[in-house]
Amino acid sequence: MFQILNENGEINDGQQAPDLSDDELKDMYAWMLKIRTFDGRAIKLNRQGRLGFYAPMAGQEACQIASMAALKKSDWLFPSYRDMGTAMYHGFPVEQVFLYSRGQINGMKVPEDVNMFPPQIIIAGHVPHCAGAGWAYRLRDEDKVAISFFGDGATSEGDFHEGLNFAAVYDANSIFFCQNNQYAISVPLSKQMRSETIAQKAIAYGIHGIQVDGNDALAVYQATKEAADRARKGEGPTLIEAVTYRFGPHTMAGDDPGRYRTKEEEQEWTNKDPLVRFRKYLESKGLWNDEEEERVKEEILNEMNEAIKKVEKMPKGTVEELIDDTYTNIPPILQKQKEEYVRWKEEK
């Protein structure tokens, strides 16, 4: 497993930090802190009934932020439902995240200047899309990369294998980033597969594969940067397995991780917290302090408070709007259902 920073925030012997400026290092950590702070606040909003579906991402900040920091604004992101950190870093507004969580139509509307597909709820359903986009960039000889994020459970889905095989055959400019957080809801990795790693699955497809410490921001950045560089040179796709851990439940829809994880296991991973590790590294370089920490937390909380107030004042979507927004030409059977619903609502 590739690792640059150990759990004490020190550079391992024989390793070298990526070529990042002090400002870039601070920005990366600030974004990780924003996502951690966002996550805590979003969980509270969910419990208050002010947000709907939400999948906590605490523990996976290095995976999401450091990887996206290694890419360009022109690259395309294919996130899943737990990857709002990647989306926000790439430019997806907080307001849109809240609309998405509340199930409103405009929550899936991505701004024109953000190269991103809507978050995918279907497990591994966006992996073939990432492969197809990467193939398009190869055909057009464009300096672009497509990256998809998914969990370890997605590697048990057919779309995962089909996407990787397609991308391999056609030398797609694609990066497949697996956040191995040890559990597919409550199913542990040991019941997902018999292979020792997820990264080694790349061998079967004839593409690059690497297992990286997903709680080490520097290692994640370096692995993703090298994968992107290879893709831009026409050297094919890469499968990255980032070994990490989600601190919270699978989603806020009633999952209780205490029923399938031990306190000892959770403590072991808490000791590997990606934010603690990266902050220790920055502090050793004189780049971070408590004042900066509080400033960033306050900044994201203020942004969230303004966004949720604005979203809560917006009118709720209707069934008719949902149908109209989904189809350009509504199928006859659905048109009939829509008319029946409108009549029922008027009579009610």
Residues acting as catalytic residues? 246, 250, 260
Contact 297, 33 (CB under 8 A): yes
Closest CA relative to residue 75, chosen from 144, 133, 143 = 144
Query: What b/e sequence results for 40-60 when a residue is b if at least 16 CB atoms lie within 10 Å of its CB, and e otherwise?
Result: ebbbebbeeeebbebbbbbbb
User: 242: which strand partners?
Assistant: 179, 212
Residue 167 tokens, joined: 């991308």
User: 2: which strand partners?
Assistant: 212
Q: In this structure, which amino acid lies at residue 31?
A: W
- Cβ atoms within 10 Å, residue 324: 13
| CB half-sphere exposure, 300, CA atoms < 13 A | 22
Helix (H, G, I), strand (E, B) or coil at 264: helix
Which position has the token pair 């604004």? 73
Alpha-carbon distance 336 to 194, whole Å? 49
Q: In this structure, which amino acid lies at residue 210?
A: I
Alpha-carbon distance 330 to 345, whole Å? 20
Q: Please name the helix (run of DSSP H) or strand (run of DSSP E) that holds residue 164, with its range, or none.
A: helix 158-169
